[in-house]
Amino acid sequence: MTSKQLKNRSKKKNESRTLFEMCDSFFARYEWGWFWILLGVTCLTSILLYDPRVSAGGDDSAYISMAHDFLKDFKFPSYQGPLYPIMLSAIDALFGMSVKAFKIFSMLNILACMYFIFKTFRNRIPSTLLFITLLLTSFNSHLLYYASQTYSEAFYMFMQSLLLFVFFKYFIGCKGVHEKGCTWVEFKGHILLALSLLGVITTRSVGYSLFIAVMGYFILYRQWKNTIWVISCFLVCFAMYQMLKYLLWGDASLQASSQAASLLDKDFYKPELGREDMAGFIERFWTNSNQYISRFFMVMLGLRETFTPEGYFVETIPVITVSIYLLGLTGLWFSYKRNRYLFFSGIAASLFLTVTFVILQTHWNQYRLIVPAYPFMILLLFSGIYHVLNLPKFRSFQFLIFVPAIIIFFCMLSDTSDAFAKAGKLKNEFSGLTPDWLHYAKASEWSAGNLPNDALVACRKPSISLIYGKGKKFYGIYSVTSSNFNTFYERWKTDSLHFSIVLIEEMNNQMYNALLGKIEARIFLGDNYYFAIKDHVFLQQFSTYFENLKIISSPCEFELIVQQAGSQKSIYYPDSLLAPLRRANVTHFLTANLRLNPNIKDGQIINTVERTAMFIQEKYPDIFTLVKRFGEDKDEPADIIQINWNVLE
């Protein structure tokens, strides 16, 4: 055959190739070059987005607090996944409590995740899909924000990518671990997979979704031998982990068991409302789907803003949620038929989201909770488009896959440019803080440097105070603990308590100040609140001075009000609130005006500590003394208040 004939044959062959085939060939030919460029972009973007502050969420500083406790007191970090705080404790041992060192560790985890995603999917899926995914991850400011934070997202993403690498290498790409083959390869693969599963689970409890994904994959493809082997190896590894934990710390509890139980409640912060039922979980799944898919995922793609100009979350759009789910299911269907690597990553991401949406309280609204699934959501959605356009009758439209990719690219570029500008203004850990958080941070720093060494300050965000206090311990008040109203009411009905219940329909400062020191408890029934008072002589005098005062001295008179309140009943005893503070040797309170909505100054605050102090002061008016105020009265101040324990003696 002549050279001219060979050239013509080659030309005809090239003409018969589809756009996808040409793009896949192009990206595959220069894959390492493209990868290093994108990894460099990821690194540079992470550096330019560096945020020196501790976030207001508190969970990120909580990991540092647990790491510090593990290093200094060998206290096992049991509330959340323990592996990440244990890793941070090694950073703490090398560099001290250096927030910068912790943040660099997060960036390295993101870079390692990118590397393992490339290594895992290289030569296993169409190169076009791989590089679209890497591109739309490499400079995403919403994801790379966590490269300079100490949340567990970056570390979990690394552990997740490591698990996929092991699974693909030994269970999809290796013939030796299907149903017959090399015994050593089988053993090595199953042990590494079991350890990888244990790693993601001990990083975050949602890692159990990956265990379900692995089991589902084996069952779906009828790999019964692998199913039994992996379950057995995992149980052995998990039992050894539990045994080690018990021997060293005397802790035999399952990871985050108390937290997991609380997630089943209708309200995480109000367990008295009872457990969620099936209808409630279905509603929770749909509400969270709308919030996280039509709002936060679209924000991560640069296609929507997070907040309205007034500072509220943008509305959810159900049609977007349904469309994303349909496109994801399309990707799953085609990948099940054509590419097991894509299929497994798809079911892993789907189960991660399903578990997340079912267990999360709908009012939490934290987009970080879907960040670990982001690269695989991109991969799954674009694989749906890829496989549809690869059908013979749609091949002439294959260029359309680049339309959403280009739109998302430029939208992300705009978002990231804005994020660069904001990050460039952050010079230190106090930069850019709103007045409420600035005063809280300054109060924490002052407490550590000016109060006696044995002082213990109670506050709402003790882990954040720990950071600004350079390692000084703070005492956390996370909720205002109520007592059992029914117990109180039953005792009152048997006349073993001699209370009168006071309702003031139009309370003013003069009335309230007159009651201070006489209030034994505060009662909430429905939308109304009442005071329980024992001093009957005082009440008689009090009633002569003030009108619109209602005094109920008999429980029988209170019966109808109690019945109308239904389950919305609670009572707060000042002495019960003081008891744990006294046992812990708390000496001061840090009260603040932390905004409920961080974007709006509307007077709505996180008032857990403030309510606790108020209920205590209603019985003991002289128990607190103001030590130091940060900020003006109308500028969201924070106060350091001393507890005068001698008042109780």
Reported as a single tens digit per residue, the pLDDT across 236-265 is 999 999 999 999 988 877 765 556 666 667
pLDDT tens per residue across span 72-115:
999 998 777 899 999 999 999 999 888 999 999 999 999 999 99
Instruction: For residue 225, give Cα distances in angstroms to 176, 177, 229, 406, 424.
Output: 12, 9, 6, 45, 55
CB neighbour list of residue 346: distance below 8 Å, 6 or more residues apart: 328, 331, 332, 335, 376, 379, 380, 383
* Residue 12 confidence (pLDDT) above 60: no
- At residue 260, the pLDDT reads 63
- At residue 493, the pLDDT reads 80
Lay out the sheet containing 457-459: strands in order across.
Answer: 474-476, 457-459, 588-591, 638-643, 624-630
Beta strands in 384-511, from DSSP E residues, in sequence order:
457-459, 474-476, 500-504
- At residue 258, the pLDDT reads 55
What DSSP state is assigned to residue 304? S
Q: Which of 446, 435, 452 is nearest to 468 (CA)?
A: 446
Residue 293 backbone phi and psi in degrees, to 5: -90, -55
Q: Mean of the pLDDT values across residues 456-479?
A: 93
pLDDT tens per residue across span 17-62:
899 999 999 999 999 999 999 999 999 999 999 999 888 777 889 9
Q: Mean of the pLDDT values across residues 322-350?
A: 95
Question: In degrees, to the nearest 5, what angle opens at C-alpha 277 toward C-alphas 275 and 263?
Answer: 45
- At residue 499, the pLDDT reads 81
Domain boundaries, the chain: 258-390, 435-480+578-648, 485-572
* Residue 177 confidence (pLDDT) above 50: no
**Parallel, antiparallel or unpaired: strands 457-459 and 474-476:** parallel
Lay out the sheet containing 528-533: strands in order across.
Answer: 549-552, 500-504, 528-533, 519-525, 569-572
- Residue 242: how many other CB atoms lie within 10 Å: 15
- At residue 179, the pLDDT reads 47
Encoded amino acid at 118, one letter: F
List, in sequence order, every residue forming a beta bridge with 525; answer none if it has no partner.
Answer: 528, 569
- Residue 194: how many other CB atoms lie within 10 Å: 23
Query: 383-408: b or e for each residue (b if 16 or more CB lie within 10 Å)?
Result: bbbbbbbbeeeeeeebeebeebbeeb
**Parallel, antiparallel or unpaired: strands 500-504 and 624-630:** unpaired
The rounded percent of the chain whose pLDDT value lies above 70 is: 91
Specify the range with the lowest mean pLDDT, choosing from 28-42, 139-153, 302-316, 575-589: 302-316
Query: What does 533-590 look like in DSSP terms, one character per residue?
Result: E--HHHHHHHHHH-SSEEEE-SHHHHHHHHHHHTT-EEEE-HHHHHHHHHHTT--EEE
Spatial distance between the Cα atoms of 259 and 273, rounded to a whole number of angstroms: 16
- At residue 302, the pLDDT reads 94
pTM: 0.86
* Residue 551 near residue 501 (C-beta atoms within 8 A): yes
Specify the range with the lowest mean pLDDT, choosing from 73-87, 177-191, 288-302, 475-489: 177-191
Torsion region of 149: left, alpha or beta (phi above 0 gives left; psi -120 to 50 gives alpha): beta
The rounded percent of the chain whose pLDDT value lies above 90 is: 65
Specify the range with the lowest mean pLDDT, choosing from 369-378, 395-404, 491-500: 491-500
Spatial distance between the Cα atoms of 121 and 375, rounded to a whole number of angstroms: 12
**pLDDT band, residue 2 (cuts 50/70/90):** very low
* Residue 338 near residue 387 (C-beta atoms within 8 A): yes
* Residue 616 near residue 511 (C-beta atoms within 8 A): no
Give start and end residues of each alpha helix (H) in 453-529: 462-468, 485-493, 509-515
**pLDDT band, residue 362 (cuts 50/70/90):** confident
Query: What does 94-145 look like in DSSP terms, one character per residue?
Result: HH-S-HHHHHHHHHHHHHHHHHHHHHHHTTTS-HHHHHHHHHHHHT-HHHHG
**pLDDT band, residue 338 (cuts 50/70/90):** very high
3-state SS class at 641: strand
User: Residue 614 CA to chain centroid, in angstroms?
Assistant: 30
* Residue 474 near residue 459 (C-beta atoms within 8 A): yes
- Mean pLDDT, the chain, whole residue set: 88
pLDDT tens per residue across span 50-59:
999 888 777 8
Specify the range with the lowest mean pLDDT, choosing from 131-135, 204-208, 324-328, 557-561: 557-561
* Residue 578 confidence (pLDDT) above 80: yes
- At residue 28, the pLDDT reads 92
- At residue 176, the pLDDT reads 45
* Residue 6 confidence (pLDDT) above 70: no
* Residue 568 confidence (pLDDT) above 70: yes
* Residue 161 near residue 112 (C-beta atoms within 8 A): yes
3-state SS class at 624: strand
**pLDDT band, residue 291 (cuts 50/70/90):** very high
Place of tokens 């890793």: 87
* Residue 448 near residue 423 (C-beta atoms within 8 A): no
